[in-house]
Amino acid sequence: MHGVKASNFAITETDLLIAIGARFSDRVISNVKKFAPHAKIVHIDIDPAEVGKNVFTHYSLIGNIKKILKVLNTKVEKKGASDWNTKVDEWKETFPLTYADDSVLRPQYIMERIDAITGGDVLITTEVGQNQMWAAQFFKYTHPRQFISSGGLGTMGYGLGACIGTQFAKPDKKVINIAGDGSFRMNLTEIATAVEYKLPIIIAILNNRVLGMVRQWQQYFYGSRYAATNIDRGTDFVALAKEALKSTDRPVVINFEIDRDEKVLPMVAPGAAVNELIDS
């Protein structure tokens, strides 16, 4: 739904799609009749109930992915780059992720700066919504298990708990939770837990004072009829951070004020094909 154009175009034109441990949710396939219309689909999964559930699968391999891939590797030959690789590279160059570059503080820029300042040597957890998408799009992940998110499960409030747990698991690493103000409100009392255990986590709040992803849907698909998305209740996150820091200087909350109408783009509308993207 919020993937780069190059990947969505490739899915639409490919002749072979190998899905490894994927559940083909509606946020991935959108219009099932137009999803990978030219492709033979190979689905590898340990759970047979997932195969053929949402898309027609031409070939299914049920079992442990690691074992299956080892067997498959013995049966395929190395193949060099082709016209297809050139085509995908051209899409990447023609349709990169971009955002308006002006004097307004933008969440995409914030993610790029976090990446640059940390040198990418940091673990990222996220809440749910626009913050989650911007974190996925504009931070350059270079290590396995560096992006810790609830995926499509939609669990607002997940990020802070995940950040605390990640810091326990990796005490030698810097851990940053990318949060929207809506999700952060769900679980903000757990800052007290971080203080109690002296965890040096950072919570970066992309604060637009609304439920941003829901507002984006209301604007695009419901004629800008906004309902129950304005959550600007006057919560002073800076004061909250100071309160949390009274007993220790370890956890830090950073409040980034961003525009309430900032969008996550590109975007596939519900029911559209994955190569039919909104980009403005």
3-state secondary structure of 60: strand
What pLDDT tens digit does each residue of the chain (280 aa) get? 998 999 999 999 999 999 999 989 988 999 999 999 999 999 999 999 999 999 999 999 999 999 999 999 999 998 899 999 999 999 999 999 999 887 788 999 999 999 999 999 999 999 999 999 999 999 999 999 999 999 878 789 999 999 999 999 999 999 999 999 999 999 999 999 999 999 999 999 999 888 888 888 788 888 989 888 877 766 676 666 555 445 445 788 888 888 889 999 999 999 999 999 998 8
**CB of 227 closer than 8 Å to CB of 218:** yes
pLDDT in tens, 239-256: 665 554 454 457 888 888
Task: Name, in order, each residue with C-beta under 8 angstroms of 253's C-beta and a sequence gap of 6 or more.
Answer: 191, 202, 203, 205, 237, 238, 240, 241, 244
Between the two ends of the chain, the Cα-to-Cα distance in Å is: 14
β-strand pairing of 123-126 with 40-45: unpaired
Backbone φ and ψ for 32, nearest 5 degrees, come out as -60, -30
Task: Name, in order, each residue with C-beta under 8 angstroms of 59's C-beta and a sequence gap of 6 or more.
Answer: 40, 41, 42, 43
Backbone φ and ψ for 263, nearest 5 degrees, come out as -110, 155
pLDDT at 244: 45
Q: Where are the alpha helices (DSSP H) in 119-252?
A: 130-138, 158-169, 181-187, 191-196, 212-221, 237-244
Task: Name, in order, each residue with C-beta under 8 angstroms of 33's C-beta and a sequence gap of 6 or more.
Answer: none
Ordered by where they begin, the domains of the chain are 5-95 (3.40.50.1220), 107-261 (3.40.50.970)
C-alpha angle 279/88/35, rounded to 5°?
Answer: 65
The number of beta carbons lying within 10 Å of the beta carbon of residue 45 is 21
